[in-house]
Amino acid sequence: SAVISQKPSRDICQRGTSLTIQCQVDSQVTMMFWYRQQPGQSLTLIATANQGSEATYESGFVIDKFPISRPNLTFSTLTVSNMSPEDSSIYLCSVYRDLNNEQFFGPGTRLTVL
């Protein structure tokens, strides 16, 4: 398995501010992803974090709102910009391991926007 840590684990933020979430993996991985889990909902893929190039966003998500960085093969950040209460969710980092065809998830960051 992969050991994935996220910071912060939770935060309460004011409307209009931005929050950057960090994801650290214990070993190098090619594929990293960011998911959102809105209250009482399933997981929705936000984007694929590509090392050395711009992230690939899913339909309904844009770079201006969710800028992503991937400076190396073990680290990524997701920023939630100009937040509104609708952004209140759990944000999860995920990595894919080719060896076992398995995808692992971080513990998540629980964001509440007031």
Supply angle C-alpha 24, 19, 57, rounded to 5: 70
Return d(Cα 48, Cα 55) in angstroms, integer: 6
- Nearest approach, Cβ of residue 58 and other proteins (Å): 8
The closest alpha carbon to 68, from 79, 58, 57, 56, belongs to 79
The residue among 77, 75, 84, 73 whose CA lies nearest residue 112 is: 84
Q: Which of 24, 43, 81, 88 binds other proteins (CB under 8 A)?
A: 43
Nearer to other proteins, 3 or 63 (CB): 3
Residue closer to other proteins (CB basis): 13 or 31: 31
Cα–Cα dist 42/25, whole Å: 23
Work out the end-to-end distance of the chain between its first and last CA atoms, rounded to an integer number of angstroms: 36
- Pick the closer one to other proteins by CB: 57 or 75: 57
User: Does 102 engage in binding with other proteins (CB under 8 A)?
Assistant: yes
Stretch that binds other proteins, among 18-26, 43-51, 67-75, 76-84 (CB under 8 A): 43-51
- Tell me: does residue 96 bind other proteins (CB under 8 A): yes
Tell the smallest beta-carbon distance from residue 71 to other proteins (Å): 20
